Structure 1
Amino acid sequence: MSDMKKIYTANAFPPAGPYTQAIAAGAHIFVSGQIPADKSGNLVEGSIGDKTEQCCRNIIAILEEAGSSIEKVVKTTVFLDDMANFNDMNARYEKFFSHKPARSCVAVKQLPKGVPVEIECIALA
């Protein structure tokens, strides 16, 4: 455990369960899935693009707290509750991840708090 550090920032959605926003381990930062909720815990209204953007803004805040940045993300996983949202999510996603890290995108039956999108990532420290 001594080579792992919990990362927390008040500038992103607070954990909604028994997990941390991110863990720094060695040269990597593992960011927990971020849902479209602001730092006060309020779910973001609007389009799937707006909700994707909030997920990305949470990731940015967490990575900055860890001393990293979105440009150092090497892998993302996007969870969608409906693949019909894929194109709209992608249009907003690519504005944040222009360096095109490796990515998986999967459809799931349901996400926490009934949101349509969740994004997790791995970044270099």
Structure 2
Amino acid sequence: MTERRSILSGSAYEDDYGYARAVVAGDHVYVSGTTGFDYATMTIADDPAEQAAQTLRTIATALAEAGCTLADVVRVRYLLPDPADFEACAPVLRAAFGDVRPAATMQVCGLLDPRMRIEIEVDALRR
């Protein structure tokens, strides 16, 4: 039987909306859409690049609990309300994934809270 385990980050959204930050299913790790909130303080920076950095820290923590790192990411999805913010985030994203080269998609869409400037979702494969 394939292992299935949920990983929680402590975000109030996880309880409010009934989801996990990540789900481990065998060797696959699926990380939910994650925004720039610092879930310990429920604060969020105004700067889209800082939001991207905080988002990646939250994702990296979930991946570590699943037994992998950002280097194990095979798919990434970037969701932004304003496509102009993507350029500001690019250096942060390149630092995280420039050597990894996961398959990637950038989509322009509305996010739940107007303070959110980027949401990132990843899939990883445990080695």
TM-score (normalised: structure 2): 0.87
Structural mapping, 1:82-121, within 5 Å: 82-98=82-98, 99-108=100-109, 110-114=110-114, 115-121=116-122
Number of residue pairs the alignment of both structures matches: 122
Q: Distance in 2 between matches of 1:39 and 1:120?
A: 16
Q: Distance in 2 between matches of 1:68 and 1:36?
A: 21
SS across alignment from 1:112: coil
Q: Distance in 2 between matches of 1:17 and 1:113?
A: 14
Shift of 1:69: 0.7
38-47 or 18-27, which moves further after superposition? 38-47
Unaligned regions of 5+ residues in structure 2, if any?
Answer: none
CA contact (8 A) 1:8 1:65 kept: no
Q: Distance in 1 between matches of 2:8 and 2:95?
A: 25
Q: RMSD value over aligned CA atoms?
A: 1.8
Unaligned regions of 5+ residues in structure 1, if any?
Answer: none
Shift of 1:40: 1.7
Q: Distance in 2 between matches of 1:73 and 1:103?
A: 10
Q: Distance in 1 between matches of 2:43 and 2:105?
A: 24
Shift of 1:105: 0.4
Shift of 1:37: 0.5
58-67 or 86-95, which moves further after superposition? 86-95
Over the matched positions of the two proteins, sequence identity in percent amounts to 27
Structural mapping, 1:3-14, within 5 Å: 3-10=3-10, 13=11
CA contact (8 A) 2:2 2:25 kept: no
Q: Distance in 1 between matches of 2:47 and 2:9?
A: 26
Q: Distance in 2 between matches of 1:81 and 1:63?
A: 25
Q: Distance in 1 between matches of 2:34 and 2:9?
A: 13
